[in-house]
Amino acid sequence: MPETSLADGLAKLCGALVLSTEHQQIKRLVDDARRFRLTPSAVSLVDRILDTAPWTLEHGLDAVAHPDGRPIWIEFGDGPRRREGLPFGGREVDLIGYLVSPSPADENAIVLVVAWRLASGTIHHAYGVVHWHRLDLVAHAANARQRYSRVRTQALARMMALVTVSTPLGFRDIVGEMHLGEDRRLEQAALMDGRLAASGEAPFAFGCLAMLAGPDGGRRSEDGFEIVEVPSSRRGPLDRVVDRLARRPVPGFVRRPGPKAPSILVVA
């Protein structure tokens, strides 16, 4: 397994593609980003919540972490969330990475770039770029708490509907060159694959941002990364009674209002 992080590998890859404006932007943002690494147990927890109670995340979308002055880079091993088959066209994925950055035109407009490293060490990124607006998350979370169903598939679909996906012109040109001389439909299929590879990660990216929103006072550092772990909490019989009375799924996310801003915690 390669020893370097996916962040460093992606920055190196993008730095070598000097003719692509988009790749140079990604390198600059990754180099400047505040870096986080989720432990396998944290990845497994987010995956379990999305599989059993994704509406708990939906209810707290207004409280998830977002870039504050610096971009955010999140990476994690894909193994703990892999169930049947292998993602990304059947290839064995080693690491997944998310670059989360505000738009230069509007700090509340967020851009997500998805990258991954295969077990062989080769690094790739989706040619589709995901967008959402923080104010949309605020309005949606309020509606979700008051009006929307607690049905797994519907909650996931609603969170997917909060994002849009675009293919920057430079990425579109690269895909076009890759399929030069081939049937035009192959190029269109490749562009669609890039959009799906990016947008399909949106709910999990929201879950990771919710994990980042928790207390970070005891977060340890390692190789330039802040390590995000499952919060240690001792839940006694009274806690479990409260969970049942509140119809609170465990594990799940819990949104708490605050005097200045809401917070979101994970209950494991």
| Res 75: pLDDT | 97
Distance CA 181, CA 82 (A): 36
pTM of the model: 0.90
pLDDT over 90 percentage in the chain = 60
Distance (Å, whole) CA 75 – CA 89: 20
Query: Which of 2-6, 79-83, 210-214, 234-238 has the least mean pLDDT?
Result: 234-238
Type of residue at 33: A
Higher pLDDT, 241 or 124: 124
199 and 238 Cβ atoms separated by less than 8 Å: no
94-132: per-residue pLDDT in tens? 899 999 999 988 999 999 999 999 988 999 999 999 999
Residue 11 exposure: Cα atoms within 13 Å on the Cβ side = 15
Q: Where are the domains of the chain?
A: 6-232
Please report the pLDDT score of residue 177 as a whole number: 77
| 251: preceding bond cis by omega (within 30 degrees) | yes
Nearest to 42 by CA among 225, 220, 264, 210: 210
